[in-house]
Homo-oligomer: A and B are copies of this chain.
Amino acid sequence: MEVLRGELRERELPFTHQREAIAQVLFESTRHLSADDVAEELRGRGEHIGKATVYRTLALLVELGLATEHDFDEGFKRYQLQVGAAHHDHLICTACGQVVQFQHPGLERILAEVADSLGFEAITRQIKIFGTCGEQEACRETREAYRND
């Protein structure tokens, strides 16, 4: 939160109650939240914040480098605070929607190598493994269906 205050001050942008509340919601969640998730959580806390502000603030957080935007092929984006953490990637269960993060040092090396050998200068990357997590009945059923395909 102090980081947010600092970044805003640096750009002479006001530290508003809404910005604080939205960052707080992201901060307290370990999951990736959609703009709608954030709005709903705020409503649950008795905060009345318009969706335009939610979208504006999420975009701002990304712009400031304090949050990351993710697209898990759901038709909308999800966001997560990212204060100085290392880049991580995702496994997405296509049956229950669960998202699990992972990191693997070997990936960094390989991807850097690939980009380099093709003359690219990498800025960012996305790695998404879609599959089944097997934690719920639905996930196991989907898994079986794939195996028999």
Chain A residues with a Cβ under 8 A of chain B: 71, 73, 91, 93-94, 100, 102, 104, 106-107, 110-111, 113-115, 118-135, 143, 146
18 A-B pairs besides A118-B133, A119-B133 with CB distance below 8 A are A91-B115, A91-B118, A91-B122, A104-B113, A107-B110, A110-B110, A111-B129, A119-B134, A120-B129, A120-B131, A120-B134, A121-B146, A122-B130, A123-B132, A123-B146, A124-B129, A126-B126, A126-B130
For residue A10, give the distance in angstroms from its CB to the closest CB of chain B: 14
Residue of B nearest to A147 (CB): B121
Residue of B nearest to A103 (CB): B114
**A100 contacts B120, C-beta separation under 8 Å:** yes
Residue of B nearest to A133 (CB): B120
Residues of B within 8 A of A102 (CB): 114, 118
**B100 contacts A118, C-beta separation under 8 Å:** yes
Residues of B within 8 A of A104 (CB): 110, 113-114
Residues of B within 8 A of A124 (CB): 129-131
CA distance A125 to B128 in the complex (A): 5
For residue A78, give the distance in angstroms from its CB to the closest CB of chain B: 14
Residues of B within 8 A of A131 (CB): 115, 120-124
